[in-house]
Structure 1
């Protein structure tokens, strides 16, 4: 008896290995996946300007990178004694104006180098709902708790999402022509927009992305994060207490599907050894002075030495 519908996933033609250099951009679910890549010690960077939820914000980020954007005083503002930038997440907020400008420019410069060196980039889109600042008439990446009456809420049309996707890939390939792009839709439901509104948003993203992929298949790949949670798991036991975000069990399930389809099978033994080391590092002994525990630490050190000899970029500190 089959008790769930299984989402078919085609394997990635250019799978990730430990030589790969990965860049993650997008919503909070991008952070979930990046954390697992980091746990297994893959070479991975994420969101230079913090979490970005919609295609317009990601497109602007890559325009900044391609055009060597230099942030100035005109790009930041002060609200509640905190300096922010409408193109960046609140994680980058600073108490001093010069600090946020310096940070923004440093991150953009470093990120361009990351994209240039990358073998794979994972783009995660969360929503098609955006907020347009009335004063500047610009769509923002983050409202930074500025009063809502200063913004107009809009739903990006499928055509607008499609245009953003074109710009995103054009800018990426201008920096790195051979980069493997992995697209996915975040399974996080944006219920604060409304139940019907969330469905409209996801529908616009999915329609635009698949129309784009049908015409641009080379070096592009779709991983069905959204479909795995909505169609394969489809149970509230896979959600957190807010009933919106996937819980650790769900993220682990989606991650395992990603491993099976997007990571080279030859790397599984190394991943298992890394997992053993990570668990060993957080192990707490009842008697840290016992011979058994000292032997455990010696074996753990040997495993770390073996990994570092082959993969010197790994860091277990």
Structure 2
């Protein structure tokens, strides 16, 4: 499937296979990538704190995880019958503050153990626009529908972003020296900031990422998901109904490009078998009692057992 001249992508010297452990963090596209890893049955952890859009929020979360922070009531607040944390996505918000605190602490604990054992850390940056809480003076990861007047909007400079990325790399490699990094900029445009402002934001992210990569001796890969969306998939038929998020076809195409660059060839063969099994499991027969369908189920079970013999962590 090709739509224009493909953007060149530098292939990883440390490709992902079924022995890999992957942590995916960041903006909405991290969720798309994480869902693909889950579908193909890789060992993957995605966004324990929910979607985090800007690099300083990611840096803070990774810092919390690596220091195994214990959240207390001073770290959360109540609004509209829910308890929230400014450093986490609203997916974690809860009517019971004890449940929220427990979820935050469990997320930190999970992230710590996964980052220590991970082979690959994939970070998707969404925006350089950030919101600073006027009362605390702190940047937030999510405003949780707190009135806009309570925040000051700022644009992170390329240098500030670069320093944040350097900190993420340094902290993560301190506990896991063998960790491989893949950075990307989300193909989702933040149009609410404005068309020009979105481009300004993405430009700062891309500039900072390339400065960081050029300064590093170890292998740090950059995957051009934003550039693929803008240059290879230039037609609005590759957008969802909101005309902002990539459509399912676009996500599949970007995943295809990612697979070519970062997935080991042997693993790609395993992915075909996993895909075949997933499609078989989703099949709904008109008459499940027929001999033909029972034979189909037996063959499907044999495929699952074959795959599980090769990779014991896989479950369906």
TMscore range, shorter length: over 0.9
Matched residue, 2:45? 45
In the aligned structure 2, how far is the partner of 1:186 from the partner of 1:195? 15
Gaps of 5+ in 2: none
Distance apart, 1:4 and its partner CA:
2.0
Matched residue, 1:163? 163
Distance apart, 1:315 and its partner CA:
1.5
Distance apart, 1:102 and its partner CA:
1.3
In the aligned structure 2, how far is the partner of 1:85 from the partner of 1:282? 37
Distance apart, 1:64 and its partner CA:
0.8
Matched residue, 1:125? 125
Does the CA-based 8 Å contact 2:158-2:207 persist in structure 1?
yes
Give the secondary structure class of the aligned counterpart of 1:279: helix
In the aligned structure 1, how far is the partner of 2:267 from the partner of 2:208? 34
In the aligned structure 1, how far is the partner of 2:106 from the partner of 2:287? 46
Does the CA-based 8 Å contact 1:77-1:83 persist in structure 2?
yes
Q: How many residues align?
A: 315
Q: How does 1:274-285 map to 2 (within 5 A)?
A: 274-285=274-285
Distance apart, 1:268 and its partner CA:
1.8
Does the CA-based 8 Å contact 2:92-2:100 persist in structure 1?
yes
Give the secondary structure class of the aligned counterpart of 1:49: coil
Cα displacement string for residues 232-271 of structure 1 (whole angstroms, at most 9, x for unaligned residues): 1111110011111000000000000111110000112211
Give the secondary structure class of the aligned counterpart of 1:94: coil
Give me the CA root mean square deviation: 1.1
Matched residue, 1:74? 74
Distance apart, 1:217 and its partner CA:
4.5
Q: Does 1:149 align with 2:185?
A: no
TM (norm. structure 1) is: 0.98
In the aligned structure 1, how far is the partner of 2:156 from the partner of 2:164? 10
Does the CA-based 8 Å contact 1:94-1:100 persist in structure 2?
yes
In the aligned structure 2, how far is the partner of 1:232 from the partner of 1:192? 24
In the aligned structure 2, how far is the partner of 1:227 from the partner of 1:129? 19
In the aligned structure 1, how far is the partner of 2:47 from the partner of 2:171? 16
Matched residue, 1:241? 241
Taking a change above 3 Å as real, the CA distance of residues 131 and 3 of structure 1, as seen in their structure-2 partners, is closer
Q: How does 1:126-275 map to 2 (within 5 A)?
A: 126-275=126-275
Matched residue, 1:21? 21
Matched residue, 1:299? 299
Cα displacement string for residues 40-96 of structure 1 (whole angstroms, at most 9, x for unaligned residues): 000000111100000010010111122221111110000001000000000101111
Does the CA-based 8 Å contact 1:178-1:219 persist in structure 2?
no
In the aligned structure 1, how far is the partner of 2:250 from the partner of 2:217? 28
Does the CA-based 8 Å contact 1:78-1:84 persist in structure 2?
yes
Gaps of 5+ in 1: none
Matched residue, 1:10? 10
Matched residue, 1:103? 103
Matched residue, 1:87? 87
Give the secondary structure class of the aligned counterpart of 2:122: strand
